[in-house]
């Protein structure tokens, strides 16, 4: 459904322009790929629905964006306060059918994740699922134009506490002032924006002059950086399209969602240390191994060049508090060597690919492209989107979560899962999320792609176990060689 069209002759109410990057994500919405970030949160105990709404009112709705809808005025897009906002339009209580188990919950999540949000209202929904595994579950869906996945995960985690009981205090939402106040607010916002722009320019000029004094070769470094950015832009544009496989047919728009039983984060770190890599390298290798096993078991020959996945790369400092929403991330294309059967060789290739990408400017380049496309006509963005989406077979996210268990409205969070949307012709989304000493892995996949999501979960676990056993064997051999070297010495 298209955003609300507001005639320009109506009495103006409080509204703010949508940023060009957020507008890019809004315009990526399609029947095949609704642009929603979704989360499934499973709790040990039942939640009080009234207490949940109080928490949302205090901590979630303090972000004005969750009370605003999207409108168009001509060729401009705005955030506008919803004059009929009510939390009951966004929080719904339902029960699962049948045995009310994991299979039924996955079917419900699959169905709702295939359904677009209502653009007549603020773009978020929460479904409270009663009596799930002795507790309950929440399905949260938020449109990508509101913020990027990492920011929204942090917003959702800000609703939680480290203890079951936490005092709540009511915070009234902003934006209820009279019309003159709104106009004053607009003028104040414009003045603050102008001041910040001027201050940023002054800071940049000061930093540039300081760099010239302390580093005589700074202009050369600046020119080199500009050259590297241009080179990365050229590489991105000239990168070949993904090879045709079973992973990229025409999409149906119906999603299938599944998640695996958690892995031990301690075991993932042991594996990473033994292979002298990172936990992220290990998990990417397990994901590549899952896809490699799919190709083997279906009899399809994996592409000799591997496949690429689009990985969101955060450009917002993680230590910075979330005061404003919006999208501030880029995408990097990571090659997964699905043609390599040896898990250690697969790991080494992924490690090399990731080290090379960390030194590149690909994330900044893709962020700038999204900013550029959001300022241009819709047809330009769609052509550019097709160009980018043709270069990846899946989207893969890896987000760190809390190291200790957290509680929402008094109930302990047992298992969280998050998914970011896929865009264009991409029909597979893989999600990795660490929480309280565990690693969660999930997948969302278009029904027209011949991959069984439950089998993919098993492949991921089997692939990790295989790599873990190889790593322990290698570490044991290294220890034996070290002992022998000491004995000889």
Is the pLDDT confidence value at 192 over 90? no
**How many domains does one find in the chain?**
2
Q: Which of 102, 134, 157 is the last residue of a domain?
A: 157
- Note the helical H segments in 95-178: 102-113, 149-157
Structural domain ending residue among the three candidates 103, 127, 157:
157
Give per-residue pLDDT as tens, 256-314.
999 999 999 999 999 999 999 999 999 999 999 999 999 999 989 998 888 888 887 66
Confidence of residue 23 (pLDDT cuts 50, 70, 90): confident
Which has more confidence, 371 or 179?
371
Q: pTM for the whole thing?
A: 0.78
Asked if residue 170 is part of any domain, the answer here is no
| CA separation for the pair 449, 310 (Å, rounded) | 18
Domain assignment of residue 421, yes or no:
yes
64-101, pLDDT tens digit by residue?
A: 999 999 998 888 899 999 999 999 999 999 999 888 89
Q: Same structural domain for residues 21 and 127?
A: yes
Check: CB of residue 128 under 8 Å from CB of residue 92.
yes
User: What average pLDDT does the segment 350-372 reach?
Assistant: 63
More reliable by pLDDT, 486 or 247: 247
What strand order describes the sheet that includes 407-408?
Answer: 91-95, 124-132, 135-143, 36-43, 411-419, 407-408
Q: What is the mean pLDDT of the chain?
A: 78
Residue 179 belongs to some domain of the structure: no
More confident residue, 190 or 62: 62
User: Please, which pLDDT band fits residue 232 given cuts at 50, 70 and 90?
Assistant: very low
Residues 388 and 250 in one domain: yes
pLDDT, tens digit (0-9, with 9 covering 90-100), for 405-424: 999 999 999 999 988 888 87
**Contact present, 152 and 140 (Cβ < 8 Å):** no
Do residues 473 and 439 lie in contact, with contact meaning Cβ atoms separated by under 8 Å?
A: no
CA-to-CA distance for 136 and 409, rounded, in angstroms? 12
* More confidently predicted of 216 and 451: 451
Closest C-alpha to 110, from 254, 252, 248, 251: 254
**Domain span holding position 87:** 6-157
Is 167 part of any domain? no
Residue of 310, 425, 318, 325 lying closest to 366 (CA atoms): 310
Q: Which two tokens mark 296?
A: 């083997």
Quick one: angle between helices 362-375 and 378-389, nearest 10?
Answer: 150
Quickly count: other Cβ atoms within 10 Å of residue 314's Cβ: 15
Are the CB atoms for 393 and 428 separated by under 8 Å?
A: yes
Residue 279: C-alpha distances to residues 28, 271, 317, 350 (Å):
32, 8, 20, 12
CA geometry: angle 433, 40, 167, nearest 5 deg = 95
Q: Indicate which CATH number applies to the domain containing 57.
A: 3.30.559.10
Alpha carbon distance 483, 489 (integer Å): 10
The predicted model gives 120-136 an average pLDDT of: 94
């Amino acid at each position: 459904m298209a955003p609300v069209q507001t005639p320009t002759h109506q009495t103006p109410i409080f509204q703010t322009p949508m940023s060009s990057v957020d507008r890019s994500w809004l315009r990526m919405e399609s029947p095949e790929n609704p642009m929603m970030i979704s989360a499934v949160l499973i709790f040990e105990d039942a939640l009080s629905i009234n207490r949940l709404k109080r928490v949302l009112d205090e901590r979630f709705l303090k972000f004005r964006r969750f009370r605003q809808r999207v409108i168009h005025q001509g060729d401009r897009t705005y955030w506008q306060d919803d004059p009929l906002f009510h939390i009951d339009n966004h929080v719904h209580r339902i029960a699962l059918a049948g045995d009310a188990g994991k299979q039924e919950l996955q079917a419900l999540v699959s169905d709702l994740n295939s359904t677009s949000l209502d653009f007549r209202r603020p773009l978020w929904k929460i479904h409270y699922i009663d009596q799930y595994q002795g507790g309950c579950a929440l399905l949260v869906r938020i449109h990508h134009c509101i913020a990027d996945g990492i920011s929204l995960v942090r917003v959702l985690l800000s609703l939680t506490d480290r203890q079951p009981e936490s005092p709540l205090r009511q915070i009234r939402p902003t934006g209820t002032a009279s019309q003159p106040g709104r106009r004053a607010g607009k003028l104040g916002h414009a003045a603050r924006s102008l001041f910040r722009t001027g201050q940023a320019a002054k800071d940049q000029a000061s930093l540039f002059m300081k760099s010239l004094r302390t580093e005589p070769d700074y202009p050369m470094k600046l020119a080199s950086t500009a050259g590297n950015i241009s080179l990365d832009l050229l590489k991105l544009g000239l990168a070949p399209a993904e090879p045709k496989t079973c992973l990229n047919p025409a999409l149906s728009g119906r999603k299938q969602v599944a998640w695996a039983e958690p892995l031990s984060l301690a075991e993932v770190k042991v594996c990473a240390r033994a292979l002298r890599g990172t936990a992220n390298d290990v998990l990417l290798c397990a994901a590549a191994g899952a896809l490699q096993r799919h190709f083997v078991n279906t009899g399809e020959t994996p592409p000799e060049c591997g496949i690429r996945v689009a990985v969101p790369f955060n450009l917002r400092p993680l230590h910075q508090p979330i005061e404003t929403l919006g999208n501030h991330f880029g995408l990097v294309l990571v090659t997964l060597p699905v043609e390599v059967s040896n898990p250690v060789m697969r790991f080494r290739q992924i490690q090399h690919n990731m080290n090379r990408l960390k030194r590149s400017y690909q994330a900044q380049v893709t962020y700038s492209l999204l900013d550029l496309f959001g300022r241009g006509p819709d047809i330009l963005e769609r052509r550019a989107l097709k160009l980018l989406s043709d270069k990846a077979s899946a989207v893969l996210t890896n987000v760190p979560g809390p190291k200790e268990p957290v509680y929402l409205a008094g109930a302990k969070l047992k298992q969280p899962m998050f998914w970011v949307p896929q865009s264009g012709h991409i029909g597979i989304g893989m999600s990795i999320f660490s929480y309280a000493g565990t690693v969660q892995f999930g997948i969302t996949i278009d029904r027209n792609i011949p991959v069984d999501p439950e089998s993919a979960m098993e492949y991921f676990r089997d692939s990790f176990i295989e790599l873990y056993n190889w790593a322990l064997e290698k570490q044991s051999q290294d220890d034996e060689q070290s002992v022998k070297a000491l004995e000889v010495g």
